Amino acid sequence: MTDPDRLPAFLDTLDAELRARGEWGRVADYIPELAGVDPAQFAISVVRADGSVTGAGQCDTRFSIQSISKIFALACVLNRIGDSLWSRVGREPSGDRFDSILLLEQEQGRPRNPFINAGALVTTDELLAGRPPREALSEIIGFVRAAAEEDDIHIDKAVAASEAATGYRNAALVNYLKSFDNLRNAPERVLGTYVHQCAIEMTTRQLALAGRCIAGLPGAPMLMTEAKRRRIAALMMTCGHYDGSGDFAFRTGLPGKSGVGGGILIAVPGRASVAIWSPGLNAWGNSQAGTEAAERLARFTGWSVFG
Ligand X SMILES: NC(=O)CC[C@H](N)C(=O)O
- Residues involved in catalysis: 67, 70, 194, 242, 260
**Rounded distance between C-alpha atoms, residue 232 and residue 237, angstroms:** 9
Residue 170 is labelled as binding a ligand = yes
Shortest-Cβ-distance residue relative to ligand X: 67
What x/- string results for residues 285 through 304 when contact with ligand X is judged by CB under 6 A?
x-------------------
Nearer to ligand X, 28 or 209 (CB): 28
DSSP string, 253-299: -S-EEE-TTSEEEEEETTTEEEEEE---B-TTSSBHHHHHHHHHHHH
Nearer to ligand X, 99 or 156 (CB): 99
**Rounded distance between C-alpha atoms, residue 91 and residue 48, angstroms:** 29
Based on the shown chain and the rule CB under 6 A, indicate whether residue 197 belongs to the binding site for ligand X.
Answer: no
Residue 194 is labelled as binding a ligand = yes
User: Of 126, 163, 243, 292, which lies in the binding site for ligand X, with binding defined by CB under 6 A?
Assistant: 163
Least separation in angstroms between CB 3 and ligand X:
35
- Which one, of 230, 259, 212, 203, lies nearest residue 68 by Cα? 259
Nearer to ligand X, 14 or 136 (CB): 136
Count CA within 13 A, CB hemisphere, residue 165.
Answer: 9
**Rounded distance between C-alpha atoms, residue 73 and residue 144, angstroms:** 9
User: Of 41, 45, 54, 67, which lies in the binding site for ligand X, with binding defined by CB under 6 A?
Assistant: 67
- Which one, of 49, 36, 38, lies nearest residue 7 by Cα? 49
Burial of 227 (0-12, 13-18, 19+ CB in 10 A): exposed
Nearer to ligand X, 37 or 198 (CB): 198
Nearer to ligand X, 78 or 260 (CB): 260
Q: How many residues bind ligand X (CB under 6 A)?
A: 11
Q: Per CB under 6 A, which of residues 85..124 are in contact with ligand X?
A: 98-99, 117
Using DSSP's 3-state secondary structure scheme, residue 89 falls into: coil
Q: Per CB under 6 A, which of residues 219..258 are in contact with ligand X?
A: none
Residue 242 is labelled as binding a ligand = yes
Q: How many C-beta neighbours within 10 Å does residue 140 have? A: 22
Least separation in angstroms between CB 66 and ligand X:
3
In the 8-state DSSP scheme, what is residue 9?
Answer: H
Residue 92 is labelled as binding a ligand = no
Do 277 and 42 form a contact (C-beta atoms < 8 A)? yes
The annotation places the binding site for substrate at 67, 117, 163, 170, 194, 242, 260
- Site residues, ligand X (CB under 6 A): 66-67, 98-99, 117, 163, 170, 198, 259-260, 285
Binding annotation: 67, 117, 163, 170, 194, 242, 260
